[in-house]
């Protein structure tokens, strides 16, 4: 059985982050809706979720429910997945969702859109035709999936989103969202980064930002969170470019920046995820400038990057996001909805504690399926 973050370690993180974040700019106004949790989202309940602007997200007071008790063999969950082999996180999530559903005895129809909007739309229609009890969508495109969710609702089937949400206009068609709070991931990571930079005497940081893919709320929200914290610290994004989620493109972007910007022209590179941060590091290393500035990522979900880069201090702060917890949380919620559960919140967030080389040994646990 896989391991989860422990409550003790979450408390350790809370204490460490309280000291770290206090040094960074303003903390913004409270959203008025703390992320309270039990097992799946303990970090927020332990105090690790920093106050953030009200625009961040609608954080719910309810915990993500555990898998329902009783006979679930008669229910069918449809899952329109974004891409089952795009990167380590998605691949792990995809495979674990299938394995977890099988372990729990629930019928999961898992369809892979391979990052194709048209294909995903067709697959959603297929799931509707199969008369699934609930349909989960991990959007290829957050705007396009509004129409998909609308079709599901029109068919009288509950629709939920997982990991990546639809744009806000589509909330009315979605029963709930389950996954990370992308704004908070970016905001808290950036706060910690600003604190580190401030401790080094950099109080108005000039940031180069590597963004993800256009049309993804995950990317948009993480960028908004990181940029908000940077601006609160008196800094700014002096350049930002899309890498489409590709490490190679992130490396190329950084290579071009290192020609354009000389030492002292910027203070750090921030990235929408860990994979792009590795691309940035590879470029900096090749140019002999890897010790000149810090590189941060909004979130990490790749064990090899945690162990090979973050633990070694090559990449700085990231939010630790487990694909196992993410996938299990989505299946748990979908199964509960199929059994008649009615969510009380629009957003249900998983736990994503902030890590760097100083606390990774305490907080990181293996994401292997077996102990």
Residue-wise DSSP of 75-95: -EEEEEES-TTSSHHHHHHHH
Whether residues 292 and 210 share a domain: the answer is yes
Whether residues 336 and 276 share a domain: the answer is no
Partner residues linked to 299 by β-bridges = 319
pLDDT digits (tens, 9 = 90+) for 155-175: 999 999 999 999 999 999 999
**Has residue 42 got a pLDDT over 80?**
no
What does the block give as tokens for 59?
């954080």
Domain that holds residue 273: 182-320+355-363
Whether residues 297 and 335 share a domain: the answer is no
Q: How many helices (H) and strands (E) in the chain? A: 12, 13
> What is the number of other CB atoms lying within 10 angstroms of the CB of residue 239?
17
Q: Are 212 and 219 in contact (CB under 8 A)?
A: yes
Alpha-helix residue ranges (DSSP H) falling in 22-143: 42-45, 88-104, 117-129
pLDDT digits (tens, 9 = 90+) for 333-367: 999 999 999 999 999 999 999 999 999 988 876 65
Is the residue at 294 inside a domain? yes
pLDDT digits (tens, 9 = 90+) for 229-282: 999 999 999 999 999 999 999 999 999 999 999 999 999 999 999 999 999 999
Is the residue at 156 inside a domain? yes
Is the residue at 188 inside a domain? yes
What does the block give as tokens for 74?
């008669």
Whether residues 173 and 191 share a domain: the answer is no
pLDDT at 265: 98
pLDDT at 6: 38
Whether residues 338 and 291 share a domain: the answer is no
What is the average pLDDT value for the chain, to the nearest integer?
A: 84
Whether residues 142 and 269 share a domain: the answer is no
Whether residues 159 and 191 share a domain: the answer is no
- Report d(CA 203, CA 196) in Å as an integer: 10
Location of structure tokens 């989103």: 161
Global model pTM greater than 0.85: no
- Report d(CA 298, CA 243) in Å as an integer: 14
**Has residue 83 got a pLDDT over 50?**
yes
Is the residue at 10 inside a domain? no
Give the strands of the sheet with 206-211, arranged side by side: 236-242, 206-211, 268-271, 294-297
Whether residues 276 and 197 share a domain: the answer is yes
Q: Considering only CA atoms, which of 148, 134, 142, 140 is closest in space to residue 79?
A: 134
Q: Are 344 and 62 in contact (CB under 8 A)?
A: yes
Is the residue at 4 inside a domain? no
Q: Name the 3-class secondary structure at 134.
A: strand
Is the residue at 71 inside a domain? no
pLDDT at 86: 78
In terms of average pLDDT, the best of 81-85, 212-216, 274-278, 366-370 is 274-278
Number of domains in the chain: 2
**Has residue 45 got a pLDDT over 70?**
no
- Report d(CA 326, CA 89) in Å as an integer: 10
Whether residues 316 and 345 share a domain: the answer is no
What does the block give as tokens for 361?
């040994």
More confident residue, 16 or 291: 291
Is the residue at 9 inside a domain? no
pLDDT at 367: 55
Whether residues 160 and 267 share a domain: the answer is no
Q: Are 230 and 294 in contact (CB under 8 A)?
A: no
Whether residues 206 and 313 share a domain: the answer is yes
Q: What is the DSSP string of 335-360?
A: HHHHTT---S-SEEE----EE-TTTH
- Report d(CA 228, CA 209) in Å as an integer: 13
Q: Name the 3-class secondary structure at 18.
A: helix
Q: Considering only CA atoms, which of 178, 232, 246, 223 is closest in space to residue 203?
A: 232
CATH number for the domain harbouring residue 228: 3.40.50.2300
- Report d(CA 20, CA 8) in Å as an integer: 19
Is the residue at 224 inside a domain? yes
> What is the number of other CB atoms lying within 10 angstroms of the CB of residue 109?
16
Whether residues 313 and 332 share a domain: the answer is no
3-state helix, strand, coil in the chain (%, to 5): 40, 15, 45
């Amino acid at each position: 059985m896989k391991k989860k973050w422990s409550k003790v370690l979450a408390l350790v993180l809370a204490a460490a982050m309280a000291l770290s974040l206090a040094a960074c700019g303003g903390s913004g106004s409270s959203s008025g809706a703390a992320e309270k949790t039990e097992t799946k989202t303990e970090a927020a309940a332990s105090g690790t979720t920093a106050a953030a602007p009200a625009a961040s997200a609608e954080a719910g007071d309810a915990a993500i429910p555990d898998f329902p008790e009783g006979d679930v063999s008669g229910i069918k969950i449809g899952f329109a997945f974004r891409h089952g082999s795009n990167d380590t996180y998605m691949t792990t999530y995809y495979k674990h969702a299938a394995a977890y559903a099988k372990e729990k005895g629930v019928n999961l129809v898992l369809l892979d859109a391979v990052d194709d909007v048209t294909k995903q739309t067709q697959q959603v229609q297929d799931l509707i035709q199969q008369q699934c009890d609930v349909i989960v969508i991990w959007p290829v495109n957050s705007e396009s999936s509004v129409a998909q969710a609308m079709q599901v609702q029109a068919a009288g089937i509950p629709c939920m989103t997982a990991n990546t949400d639809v744009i806000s206009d589509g909330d009315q068609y979605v029963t709930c969202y389950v996954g990370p709070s992308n704004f908070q991931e970016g905001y808290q990571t950036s706060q910690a980064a600003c604190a580190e930079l401030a401790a080094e005497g950099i109080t108005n940081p000039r940031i180069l930002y590597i963004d993800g893919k256009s049309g993804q709320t995950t990317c948009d929200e993480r960028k908004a969170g990181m940029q908000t914290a940077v601006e609160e610290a008196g800094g700014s994004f002096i350049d930002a470019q899309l890498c489409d989620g590709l490490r190679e493109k992130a490396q190329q972007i950084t290579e071009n920046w290192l020609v354009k910007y000389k030492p002292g022209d910027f203070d750090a590179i921030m990235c929408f995820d860990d994979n792009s941060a590795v691309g940035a590091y590879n470029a900096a290393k090749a140019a002999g400038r890897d010790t000149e500035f810090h590189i941060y990522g909004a979130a990490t979900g790749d064990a090899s990057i945690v162990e090979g880069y973050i633990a070694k201090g090559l990449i700085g702060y990231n939010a630790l996001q487990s694909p196992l917890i993410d996938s299990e949380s989505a299946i748990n919620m979908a199964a509960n909805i199929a059994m008649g559960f009615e969510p009380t919140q629009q957003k249900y967030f998983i736990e994503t504690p902030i890590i760097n080389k100083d606390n990774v040994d305490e907080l990181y646990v293996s994401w292997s399926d077996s102990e």
